[in-house]
Amino acid sequence: MKILAISDQVVDNLYAPKVADRFGDVDLILGCGDLPYDYLEFLVTALNRPLYYVHGNHDRPFEYTADGKRRITPSGCDPLDGRVVTQRGLILAGLDGSIRYSREGSYQFTQEEMARKALWLSLRVALNRLRAGRWLDILVTHSPPFGVGDGPDPAHVGFRAINTLMRRFKPRYLLHGHQHTYHGPKPGVQIGSTWVLNVFPYRVIEWGPGDVD
């Protein structure tokens, strides 16, 4: 299986009429936040693949269409925050947002607030194991874990609750955005059983028995 993961920045060669010529073989699209709804809707339509997403700290609870209508979700895309879903045999879960660094922003949280969100997600993952026989394959977040690919400035500190989820449920991948890297994707960092990947602005991941792409 091939996964297209995206975050934080609209990429010209993805937001293009011939995107299917380059990325038509992907099986799943995962959005890691701070992306406009039009971009997500274009990709899900052009590639005709399932798209799950979480919100980033710059996202708003709704966007307006060109004709002035308000929408709270991008058409054809599925929000993943606080949910556990199975898609093409993969177990996915997600968490919105970044650390709280300002008084504004619908998707900013303190460490304690994220810990409560992660607790509720943990309960859903635990119930899912009764059905699927395993915990979790991919955890999709906007922010990185604390101390793993995060930053020292107040806006880019990672969440400790994400580290806890990795230790407890051992997903193969944790995909995040939020940290911008302008010289190509950094190599994955393996923490225990989990590969932590910054997907900014996009990354293609081969799901299989081999190493990460």
DSSP string, 134-166: S--SEEEESSPBTTSS--SSTTS--BHHHHHHH
Whether the predicted pLDDT of 213 surpasses 60:
no
- Domain for residue 213, yes or no? no
Q: Examine the pLDDT at 181 and tell me if it is beyond 90.
A: no
Alpha-carbon distance 55 to 41, whole Å?
15
Q: pLDDT above 90 covers what percent of the chain?
A: 80
Residue 66 counted as domain residue: yes
Q: Tell me, yes or no, if the pTM score tops 0.85.
A: yes
CATH code of the domain covering residue 106? 3.60.21.10
**pLDDT tens digit string along 81-109?**
999 999 999 999 999 999 999 988 889 99
The pLDDT, as a whole number, for residue 72 is 81
Determine the distance from the C-alpha atom of residue 165 to the mean position of all C-alpha atoms in its chain, rounded to a whole number. Answer: 15
* pLDDT grade for 58, boundaries at 50, 70 and 90: very high
H helix runs in 51-148, sequence order: 111-132
Are 65 and 124 in contact by the 8 Å Cβ rule? The answer is no
Cβ atoms of 177 and 151 closer than 8 Å: no
pLDDT at 208 over 60: yes
Distance, in Å, from the CA atom of 205 to the CA atom of 28, rounded to the nearest integer, reads: 10
CA–CA gap between residue 159 and residue 62 (Å, rounded): 25
Check pLDDT > 90 for residue 50: yes
Is residue 211, in this structure, part of any structural domain at all?
Answer: no
**Tens digit of each residue's pLDDT (9 = 90 or more) over 135-168:** 999 999 999 999 999 988 999 999 999 999 999 9
- For residue 142, what are its two tokens? 């906007």
* pLDDT at residue number 209: 61
Tokens of 26: 């992907």
Confidence bin at 211 (pLDDT 50/70/90): very low
Banded model confidence at residue 20, pLDDT cuts 50, 70, 90: very high
Residues spanned by the domain of 43: 2-206
Q: Does position 5 have pLDDT exceeding 80, yes or no?
A: yes
**Mean pLDDT of all residues belonging to the chain:** 92
Q: What's residue 184's pLDDT?
A: 63
Total tally of structural domains belonging to the chain: 1
In-domain check, residue 212: no
Number of Cα atoms under 13 Å in the Cβ half of residue 117:
24
**Alpha-carbon distance 116 to 121, whole Å?**
9
Q: Give start and end residues of each alpha helix (H) in 34-151.
A: 37-47, 111-132
The pair phi, psi for residue 127, each rounded to 5°, is -65, -35
Closest listed residue to residue 81, CA positions, set 92, 71, 70:
92
pLDDT at residue 185 tops 70: no
Residue 64 lies in a domain: yes
In a domain, 116, yes or no: yes
Interatomic CA distance for residues 99 and 105, integer angstroms = 10
